[in-house]
Amino acid sequence: MTAPGQGVQRPGMLDPWLDAVPGAPALVADWSRAAGFDLVEAGRDEALLADTAYAQPLIVAASLLAHQLLRDRLPSAADEVLFAGHSVGELAAAAGAGYLSPRDAVALARVRGAAMSAACAVAPTGMAAVMPARRNPASDEEIVAAVGTAGLTVANFNGSHQFVAAGPADRVEALADAPPPGIRVSPLAVAGAFHTEAMAPAVAQFARAIQDVRLAEPASALLGNGEGEPVAGPEDLRRRLITQITSPVRWDLCAQAIARRAPGALHIELAPAGPLTRLLQRARPEARAVALGVPEDLDRVLAEAAGSGLPAVAGMPEERELVGAR
């Protein structure tokens, strides 16, 4: 079960879940106090959704509401799910696995988002999706080499021959203006170079916040998005959440890990969902996947789970097209 990263937010994304999830208004009110702002009202504000400080806790909240509804309707899956989250989605995934309370996950997403937003103001940086051209496409190795030659860093290894380059804004612009042969480049509407050393100013603030949070022994397995390896326990998760702020997301390794650990599993992408599942289906047309974007999508999850004869749901879709989730 995956939780998406930043870039999937849309106005009103919490609204459908408020009536569908038992006790949702009280939950969201509590999470709003933890975040320091009204999640419902902010989630309807397009300008705030464009701000990393607001977008990250809102995305985590949406994922957690979808997960709560899924647990209510499919309790037999609770103990056998394999979780993972792309970038900030790792906080929602960690809560789903039982490491964090949902309230703490939202609060940490607020600290993380605000700290990263402040880091973006230190110097002009940016990101761009980098992919093979449709004709005479470059290889993955050639794409990674071209990003380095441009003076940039690969911030996301998303799989399916998709990468996100990040670094100084002028270098991102230069790469987009004159892409090497066999390569397509699409600049992303982001505030800065996430998952690179440009985010170093955000690390200390987030590290202090997570040191104050109690992490529990999990009920379910969780893959770390920096290595695609199972998280070994609470302290390992704490370390990973801190280091991933400045480290690349290795979603390609996560995809390989899920193929080994749960072949044939049902893949569920938590809200705000959609692009992750489409990418998975493009990479692996045979995969069974449902994007839980609105509460009504749960009917498809239940039908897939019943049809499979499996008592649990698990999965790991790849990252959304043309977006460097963060």
| CATH number assigned to the domain comprising residue 241 | 3.40.366.10
Domain region containing 141: 125-187
Q: Give the whole-angstrom CA distance, residue 318 versus residue 31.
A: 28
Model confidence, pTM: 0.92
Residue 317 lies in a domain: no
Cα radius of gyration (the chain): 19
Is the pLDDT assigned to residue 79 strictly greater than 90?
no
pLDDT at 304: 84
* Same domain as 296, residue 268: yes
Residue 296 lies in a domain: yes
* Same domain as 110, residue 64: yes
Task: Give the dihedral of Cα atoms 26, 30, 32, 34; nearest 10 deg.
Answer: -170
DSSP string, 145-213: HHHHHTT-EEEEEEETTEEEEEEEHHHHHHHHHSPPTTEEEEE---SS-TTSGGGHHHHHHHHHHHHTS
Task: State whether the Cα torsion 271-276-281-286 is positive or negative.
Answer: negative
* Same domain as 144, residue 263: no
Residue 320 lies in a domain: no
* Same domain as 90, residue 202: yes
Provide the CB-side half-sphere exposure for 288 (13 A, CA).
17
* Same domain as 227, residue 280: yes
Is the pLDDT assigned to residue 308 strictly greater than 60?
no
- The mean pLDDT of the chain is 90
Is the pLDDT assigned to residue 278 strictly greater than 80?
no
**Quick check: is 195 catalytic?**
yes
Active-site annotation holder among 32, 63, 87, 220: 87
* Same domain as 182, residue 300: no
Mean pLDDT over 131-148 rounds to 97
* Same domain as 294, residue 209: yes
Q: How confident is the model at residue 326 (pLDDT cuts 50, 70, 90)?
A: low
66 neighbors 292 (Cβ within 8 angstroms) = yes
Q: Give the whole-angstrom CA distance, residue 218 versus residue 165.
A: 34
Active-site annotation holder among 32, 86, 117, 195: 195
* Same domain as 161, residue 146: yes
